[in-house]
Structure 1
Amino acid sequence: MAKALYCLITFLFKHQCQRTKKEEKVVREICIFTVIIYIKYWFQAPAGWSAPRNDLQLLKNLKDFDRINPEIATVALKKILGHLWYLSEELVSFAFFDDKLSVQDKKRMVDELKIEDTKDCPKRKSIDVEHIREKKIEDFVTSNSLRFFQIMGISSEFLK
Structure 2
Amino acid sequence: MTCVCLQYVYLKAWISAPLASGAPYSDLLLLKSLLEYSSIHLAISKATSNKFSGNLWYLSPELVGLALFDSRVSSSTKRLMVSAMQSEDDQEQEHTKRITIDLDSAKNKNLEHFVTAKSAKLFQMMDLPDGFLTVDPDLWEDRHDYKLASETVRSLKVVNDHAERGVALIQEYSGFITQDESQLQFLLQVVNEHRRVYPDSRKQTLSGQP
TM-score normalised to structure 1 length: 0.79
Equivalent residue for 1:39, pick from 8, 11, 14: 11
Structure 2 counterpart of 1:136, one-letter code: N
Question: 2:43 maps to what in 1?
Answer: 71
Measured in 1, the distance between the counterparts of 2:109 and 2:92 equals 21
Indicate the SS of the match to 2:54. coil
Structure 1 unaligned regions, length at least 5 = 1-28
User: Structure 2: 5+ residue runs without aligned partners?
Assistant: 135-210
* Equivalences, count: 132
Deviation at 1:67, TM superposition (A): 1.2
The structural deviation recorded for 1:122 is 2.5
Q: CA deviation at 1:89?
A: 0.2
Mapping 1:1-160, distance limit 5 Å: 29-117=1-89, 118-120=91-93, 121-160=95-134
Question: Displacement, 1:70?
Answer: 1.1
1:119 is displaced (CA, Å) by 2.3
State the percentage of identical aligned residues: 38
CA distance in 2, matches of 1:43, 1:99: 15
**TM-score, L = length of structure 2:** 0.61
In 2, the alpha carbon distance for the partners of 1:126 and 1:45 equals 21
Residue 190 of structure 2 corresponds to none
In the alignment, the residues of structure 2 paired with residue 44 and residue 123 of structure 1 have an alpha-carbon distance, to the nearest angstrom, of 21
Query: After the TM superposition, which segments of 4 or more aligned residues of structure 1 sit over 4 Å from their partners?
Result: none
The RMSD of aligned alpha carbons is: 1.0
Question: For each residue in 1:91-118, what CA deviation from the matched residue of structure 2 results, as whole angstroms up to 9, or x when unmatched?
Answer: 0010010011111110110110121123
Q: Structure 2: which amino acid aligns with 1:135?
A: K
Query: Which position in structure 2 is the counterpart of 1:7?
Result: none
Aligned to 2:138: none
